[in-house]
Structure 1
Amino acid sequence: MMNQTALVEQDRRGSAPTFQQHWNIMTAEQKMSFYRLQAWGYRLLFVRSMPRGPLAVIAQDQELAAITADGELDTNPQIVLRGQ
């Protein structure tokens, strides 16, 4: 479990990275997992660099999930979004 606070609207530098910038950070395993989950309505919110590799944060409606660097899905991540 990870406990992380993240800002969805903007990052700390003042401008939000694009989808492509987030996509480029993801591992091949994350991309494959996310591609399969898109059929279920998941969307990519952001990717954060973590000590164990990038963490992709995704959402389906208002439910958050995360994809670890090795492509494993965590449907109950301990993530708090700022501004909510």
Structure 2
Amino acid sequence: MLHTAAMKLTSPFIENRKETLMDTNSHWIKLTNAQRFAFYTLAKLGYQLLFVRNANNCSTAVASQDNKLATIDDEGEINFNPSIILREQK
């Protein structure tokens, strides 16, 4: 009985984790090789990949850690002080 209760408590976490992993994977495949190598550096610092935007034949990866944002351009250059504003989630 206790085992079943524990499973019920953790199942929303497991579902959210699956959604996060699928979403991260969909963004990961959009990264250039240079962006992937640069992101490894950010990941070591605790950053998570939020999304990748493609515009004018250029891509920008956006990552966050707590309230800090960082961007990675096509060539793998990391900007720890980007001038972007994220929309609030509703």
TM-score norm. by structure 1 comes to: 0.74
What letter corresponds to residue 25 of structure 1 in structure 2? K
Per the alignment, residue 4 of structure 1 pairs with none
Q: Taking every aligned residue pair, what percent have the same amino acid on both sides?
A: 43
Q: Distance in 2 between matches of 1:74 and 1:39?
A: 16
How many equivalent residue pairs? 68
Per the alignment, residue 26 of structure 1 pairs with 31
Unpaired segments of 5 or more residues in structure 2? 1-21
Q: Does 1:63 align with 2:68?
A: yes
Deviations 1:19-68 (A, max 9, x none): 11111110000000001221111110111002251100011211011000
Unpaired segments of 5 or more residues in structure 1? 1-16
Cα offset for 1:78? 1.2
Q: Secondary structure at the match of 2:40?
A: helix
More strand by share: 1
What letter corresponds to residue 63 of structure 1 in structure 2? K
Determine which structure has greater relative contact order: mean sequence separation of CA pairs < 8 Å that are 6+ residues apart, divided by chain length.
Answer: 1
Per the alignment, residue 78 of structure 1 pairs with 83
The Cα RMSD (Å) is 1.5
- Compare CA radii of gyration and give the structure with the larger one: 2
Structure 1 contact 42–58 (Cα < 8 Å) conserved: yes
